[in-house]
Structure 1
Amino acid sequence: MAGTSLAGWLLLAIYLPTIHGLRLAQMGTMSPNGGDDGVDFRPAYHITPPSNWMNDPNGLMERDGIFHVFFQFNPSAPIWGAPHWGHVASRDLAHWQRLPVALSPEETYDIDGVFSGSATVLPDGDPVIMYTGTSRRQELGFFWQVQALARPENGSDPLLQRWVKDPRNPVIEDAPPRGTNFQFRDPQTAWRQEVGEELGSLWLTTIGSQVSCVGAAPMYASRDFVKWEFFGYLHSQPGVVPSENETECTFGETQFGAEGRNWEVVCYFPKRVGEEVIHIFKYSDQIRGRTPFGRDWYVLSDVPLAFTNKTVPGQGNALTPSLRGAPFAPAIIDHGDIYASKFFNTSSGRLLWMGWSFETSTGCTGTCSDGTPLTDARGWQGLQTIPREVQVDLETGQLLMTPIGEVEALRSAQLFEQGGMKLVPGARRALPLKFPKGGSGGRQMDVSATFKLSDEASAEVSSTGFKVGVAVTHGRTGALTSVFLNGSLSAGGGGVEELEMWVDRSATGGATSANLQGGRVTLGGVAKEVTLRLLVDRSVVEAVGQGGRVRATSRVYPAGRGDWGLELFNEGAAGSVVAGVEAWEMEGAFVDDLW
């Protein structure tokens, strides 16, 4: 189903769910795990598709006080298919209005999919989208990828509801030297850059690629945003993971290998920190056999970009990952079920981040792109995380990423607030939540917890271990999802020495993947208390530890219909802790009209 005749149907599909989806919304569908999937598992205050399939966030931007989030969308089925660009908009980054499909596969160069891309607001205020157009070449059996532009049909429309593709498309057809048009996608937001006295100021963008069998981020340069030329490499896999492979390779399994990879959804943003400019570069990769299959990474640098326009990855990369004179190894953005994330700037100067969280229920493989009987029954897949504000901690050399303050506008009833709760070692304490009438029964919560640590062990012991956290209980079946911080506490009041955060889904039950997600926390200064923030929204738990120093977005699909609850626990040997908790009911994010 391709061609312009499809456009009218796609617009209708945004406002009306499929017949299958309508049945889910009205009646719910009993699933093999005993839950009402049409109601219980569909997040309410996260961005989700109107129905069917969602993946990468695209075109994140603010224009005239309106925030726009586009996303990869298959309007035909709850599995991956020829991507369109779905579209939602907001005035406050908390409440969102669904809008018509912005881009559809209907031209020769994008007939098999309008793949991911970005938006750039030009100096005159006009936005322009650059995206990857794909067409299947039967003689090769893979998607041929080029880059194309689209602009608003009516720039005075604050919601930018209709978009027109540039008649000069495709504007970038040539993959980088030793690259391939089968792995050449996801252009990032362009930036203006001084590149030397001879060339002056140019528009630059970078595109996820595979070159000589390794992941790379080639740059393309333009003076007018229409004519683009290869301009060397911003960064590449040899710059972070040395490889001896210098030969040309063909598309295939090499995309997913530990040695030869493809970088997707690359992202570069400079951020001013005091008097310095810190360069942030992010990439996504996929490796078969790794858990998770897809993962997002970042590197930092305080070294100015150097433009040499060399054609071999790793030789003359403009970006050198280095902070305070030491090489910067790739760091994990989120330890959970996210992929293809993007950064974007706001008019107030904040740097924000958002990522796609894919389904991981029973039977899913990879990012669940082929679906399962369970996801088919629900009629939808995928969500976008709550945007996170990004700060750079130069003391510890890491990104701090915390949920934006605007999400608090969705708080309604306060479910619980109390401090000074003493938990002796081995204690568990159920919190008496006060659910509002007509609320979610604990399925939509914003929870903040603080644990003040003490060391009651013998002075002869150099350090003691602690494990404290919050469990989200699921009904009366004993099922629960635990989020905890564990580590070692120095004897004599010296503070936390080691710290990790983990989401434990081993007792969640239902259709949940029973595993641990999390990792080490890099501490800044002496810490004598540890903190957790949980955004619970039906089938997702976004966990943020120690003020944004560690993040894990985990998907949960527990069985049963009872109310969810909260428990505090102290399972370590480091003595009693004193806990404080705030918990709020969260409203749904979608509105019919932003005004």
Structure 2
Amino acid sequence: MVKEKEILLYEQAYGEVKKHQDNVQDDYYRLNYHLMPPVGLMNDPNGLIQFNGIYHVFYQWNPFDTKHGAKFWGHFTSSDMVTWKEEPIALAPDEWYDKNGCYSGSAVEWEGKLYLFYTGNVKREDGTRETHQCIAVSEDGMVFEKLGPILHLPCGYTAHFRDPKVWKHEDKWYMVLGAQTLEEKGAAVLFTSENLFDWEESGRIAGTGMNELGYFGYMWECPDLINLNGRDILLISPQGLKPSGHFYHNLFQSGYFSGKLDYKNHTYLHGDFTELDRGFDFYAPQTFMDEKGRTIMYGWMGITDEAEAYQPTISHHWVHALTLPRELEWRNGKIYQKPVEELRKLRKNEAVCEKVQTEEGELQLKNVNTSSAELLFSGIKAESGTYSITFRNEASLEYDADKKELSLHRRSMKTNDIETRTCSLHFIYKIHVFMDHSSLEIFVNDGEEVFTARYFPVKENESIVFKGHAEFQLTKWALC
């Protein structure tokens, strides 16, 4: 049943879309083939699911500002993860238990219905907050009825307790939540249920002091537990990690532990933490399994930090986007990520340059000038020295074959200085790049490492420049 307050919020949100739509669409940095908000701020992907054959992507959305505020759940659908339709708002912050935001969560199908789980955020007048884990249901996947809170804050945690991810194993439902302990340490907490509505706490399965893990951040967000090739993988976004070598140089991180969840005793044994993405703009990933049995992940192509306010799209009343959908595989003791095969439908005008050989100096690649394209550098041979690929004079990918280090450089939106993210790689044989008007997603060695970044080159410069000594084959597709 649609309520008066809900109708009012919907009208206000769509009023913002209408008010700013021309300015939004006139932005040169609007992306060509990524999911973006129609206006305002987008962050975490939520409720990823294939329901009745249709892919659903919900997302955190503030339609009223390009800053974080009381979040709605926006909603997109697709039959192929390529062509998307914007659907009506799924959830609005219109109840006592979610009045300051319908925060992140997940989706499951049960008995032919689609259920959304999310965190209801409430801010009290004294500055403290409440957190409630809530449920909503839909018969058709489009119109949702809120059924209210199903889980309130348990003992031992602050109100930073959120982002329920729900799944079924054998005949029981499981929920993992991101949490902050009273000692202000991050943790993942497990709950079980027989019916999706009545939940029993099973305890922490990971966090500081468990599995020989030292202090690992003051809060863990957006947990997700999946199984890849027999490994139970806990995806998590910890806050408060300090840089260490090449690791943890963003304000907040996203990555995973690999191990084994004991479903009988509700314990989780795991190894070390591995970052999922080596770039600048990747956070709050979530996965789902589709009808083909693939585990597919989306991430927020952004991050909350002080540079967020300097993105040039803000003057056009929108900010941030989601990554491309990526299929996850477990190989060679780690997660590999690859763009889903459906994205090949975007390809137009294939061009192949075979056996490109470069000497020391600079080579501007011919017939490759573009702002929206897929570039595949394959069969790369470079035994020593350094080579780089510069994208539109605004970002560059550089490999030092002597140090065995791969780095992505870009110009800071805040300071205009060059900033860098680096990882170690013994060799490189393939670099697969998805360029959009203001984003880069770079898959190295079939997804062994991935770099994601927003960047904002000048419109007039569409050059791709290769520097250094190397041999490779280049295949290019325009993407539209």
Residue type of the partner of 2:177?
A: I
Aligned to 2:223: 266
Distance in structure 1 (CA, Å) of the matches to 2:208 and 2:389:
38
Deviation at 1:378, TM superposition (A): 2.2
Offset, 1:282: 0.9
| Residue aligned with 1:5, SS | helix
Counterparts of 1:217 and 1:307, CA distance in 2: 17
- TM-score with structure 1 length normalisation? 0.74
Question: What's the offset of the Cα at 1:544?
Answer: 1.2
- Which residue of structure 2 lines up, in the alignment, with residue 57 of structure 1? 45
Deviations 1:482-514 (A, max 9, x none): 1133334xxxxxxxxx743221115x8898662
Q: CA deviation at 1:6?
A: 4.7
> SS at the partner of 1:407?
helix
CA contact (8 A) 1:49 1:73 kept: yes
**Alpha-carbon deviations, 1:344-399, whole Å to 9, x = none?**
11111111111001269xxx606x2xx35844312101100001111101xx3111
Distance 1:487 1:263, change over 3 A: same
Q: Residue 219 of structure 1 aligns with which residue?
A: 190
| 1:106-155 deviation digits (Å, cap 9, x = unpaired) | 11101111000000112x2322111001111223x133111010011xx2
Once residues 10 and 296 of structure 2 are traced to their aligned partners in structure 1, the CA distance between those partners, rounded to angstroms, is 30
1:145 aligned residue: 131
Task: Mark the CA change 1:306 to 1:487 in structure 2 (over 3 Å): closer, same or farther.
Answer: farther
Bigger Rg, structure 1 or 2: 1
Residues 23 and 316, structure 2, Cα contact 8 Å, conserved in 1: no
Q: 1:569: how far off?
A: 2.4
Report the Cα offset of residue 20 of structure 1.
3.5
What CA distance in whole angstroms lies between the structure 2 residues aligned with 1:420 and 1:444?
A: 24
Task: Report the CA distance shift for 1:365/1:418 in structure 2 as closer, same or farther (over 3 A).
Answer: same
Matches within 5 A, 1:149-168: 149-152=135-138, 155=139, 157=140, 160-166=141-147
Pick the structure with more strand per residue.
2
Cα shift readout 1:79-116 (whole Å, capped 9, x = no counterpart): 11100000001110111111111000111101111000
Alignment match, 2:150: 171
Are the equivalent residues in 1 in contact too, given 2:399–2:406 (CA < 8 A)? yes
Give the TM-score normalised by structure 2.
0.91
Structural mapping, 1:65-144, within 5 Å: 65-122=53-110, 124-139=111-126, 141-144=127-130
Q: 2:273 aligns with which of 327, 330, 333?
A: 330
Q: Give the equivalent residue in structure 1 for 2:366.
A: 432
How far did residue 184 of structure 1 move?
0.6
Partner of 2:422: 518
C-alpha displacement of 1:242: 3.7
Per-residue deviation, residues 239-281 of structure 1 (Å, max 9, x unmatched): 36744xxxxxxxxxxxxxx76511000110112x2xxx11111
Mapped to 2, the partners of 1:485 and 1:240 lie a distance apart of 35
Give the structure 1 partner of residue 474 of structure 2.
Answer: 581
Alignment of 1:297 onto 2:233: no
- Alignment correspondent of 2:301: 357
The separation in 1 between residues aligned to 2:463 and 2:106, in whole angstroms, is 40
Q: Contact 1:88 / 1:97 at 8 angstroms: preserved in 2?
A: yes
Task: Report SS of the residue matched to 2:22.
Answer: helix
Deviations 1:44-85 (A, max 9, x none): 111000111100000000012110000000111111110000
Alignment of 1:427-576 (within 5 A): 427-433=361-367, 442-453=370-381, 455=383, 465-473=384-392, 479-488=393-402, 499-506=404-411, 514-521=418-425, 530-558=429-457, 560-570=458-468, 576=469
In the TM superposition, residue 447 of structure 1 has moved relative to its aligned partner by 0.8
**206-215 or 347-356, larger mean C-alpha shift:** 206-215
Is 1:319 the counterpart of 2:303? The answer is no
Q: Does 1:191 align with 2:185?
A: no
| Deviation per residue, 1:184-237 (Å, 9 max, x gap) | 1000032225xxxxxxx4211111001242211111111111111111222223
CA-to-partner distance for each residue in 1:155-201, whole Å, 9 max, x for gaps? 2x4xx2211101xx2100132x3112x111000032225xxxxxxx4
Secondary structure of 1:295's partner?
A: coil
1:164 and 1:229 mapped to 2: Cα distance?
24
User: Structure 2 unaligned runs (5+)?
Assistant: 244-248
Cα pair 1:70 1:88 within 8 Å, conserved: yes
Q: Is the 8 A contact 1:471 1:566 kept in 2?
A: yes
Measure the CA separation in 1 of the matches of 2:101 and 2:212: 31
User: Compared with structure 1, are the counterparts of its residues 171 and 100 closer, same or farther at alpha carbon in structure 2 (3 Å cutoff)?
Assistant: same
C-alpha distance in structure 2 between counterparts of 1:188 and 1:466, whole Å: 46
* Structure 1 position 288, deviation (Å): 7.7
Deviation at 1:12, TM superposition (A): 7.4
Aligned-residue offset at 1:305? 1.7
Report the residue type matching 1:552 in the other structure: F
Match of 1:404 among 321, 327, 340: 340
- SS of the equivalent of 1:187 reads strand
User: Aligned pair 1:387/2:325, yes or no?
Assistant: yes
Q: Give the secondary-structure state (helix, strand or coil) at the position aligned to 1:532.
A: strand
In the other structure, the counterpart of 1:197 is: none
Residue correspondences, number:
471
